Amino acid sequence: MPVETIFLDAGGVLVYPNWQRVSETLSRHGIAVGAGALTAAEPHAKRHLDCTNTIQVTNDTSRGWLYFNLILERAGVALSDRTEAALAELHEYHQLHNLWEVVPPHVPAVLAALGARGLRLAVVSNANGTLRAHLRRLGLEPNFACVLDSCEEGVEKPDPQIFRHALARSGADAATTIHVGDLFQVDVVGARAAGIRGVLLDEGGLYGDVDCPRLRSLRDLLRAIDRRAFD
């Protein structure tokens, strides 16, 4: 059936960590690692994190700490009291402002183009209660019929209930909806459990073994929609 609605994860799809801020915070704690090294390490750390055993025994908050520790280790930084203190400072910033504050230049254009094609867009994201205000501050909120923040919903991916909430809130039909996210075990598995097709944003090209459509960029989503790849 033709796609009518697209659910999108926020972090890692629409917005990205401010690695320059992370690098500067680490530097204040005596740790020298550049934003480029952190950026390069991130896809590999995320792939390591994205396994059934880890996802099943963690929640979004605990995965966040693990995610950053894995990135630091991949970037060649030894974990210590100093890295713990730096991450605590970043966590405090995130709780107030949201560290995922970088919007790649292509994202607004892709969202506008999808909307111009008559597609209904919604955000379904594990977040900390600041997501809606954050997307508004970044100028992205007007693109979406609704924004579901797991903290506000009281349920987080991969629990299919948050996707059911999104279907009801947006007026969408699961059969004509796809969900695009950057974690297979969280986004694709969770969406499938709600009867929604899952699409993985695999920017690092590290998921060759998964059984779902993969995109290397959000730009590829627009191309796939235009060639009716999900119909």
26-58: b (≥16 Cβ within 10 Å) or e: beebebebebebbbebbbebbbbbbeeeebeee
CA dihedral sign, ordered 111, 169, 97, 90: negative
| Cis status, amide bond into 158, omega within 30 of 0 | yes
Secondary structure tally for the chain: helices H, strands E: 11, 6
Amino acid at 154: G
- Identity of the residue numbered 24: E
Cβ-Cβ contacts under 8 Å for 148 (sequence gap 6 or more)? 122, 123, 124, 125, 162, 165, 166, 169
Beta bridge pairs of residue 214: 200
What is residue 71's predicted lDDT score, i.e. its pLDDT? 98
CATH architecture observed for domain 5-14+102-226 = 3-Layer(aba) Sandwich (3.40)
The one-letter code for the residue type at 56 is Q
pTM, entire model:
0.96
Strands (E) located in the chain = 5-8, 120-125, 146-149, 177-181, 197-201, 214-215
Segment-wise mean pLDDT, segments of 10 residues, the chain, 231 residues:
96 98 98 98 97 92 94 98 98 94 98 98 96 96 98 97 98 98 98 98 97 97 96 89
Domains of the chain by residue range: 5-14+102-226, 19-97
Question: Could you tell me which of 160, 150, 94, 148 has the C-alpha nearest to residue 127?
Answer: 150
Tell me what pLDDT residue 1 has. 85
Q: How far apart are CA 148 and CA 165, in angstroms?
A: 8
Quick one: which H or E segment has residue 90? helix 81-97
Phi and psi at 196, nearest 5°, equal: -110, 140
Instruction: For strands 5-8 and 120-125, give the pairing.
Output: parallel
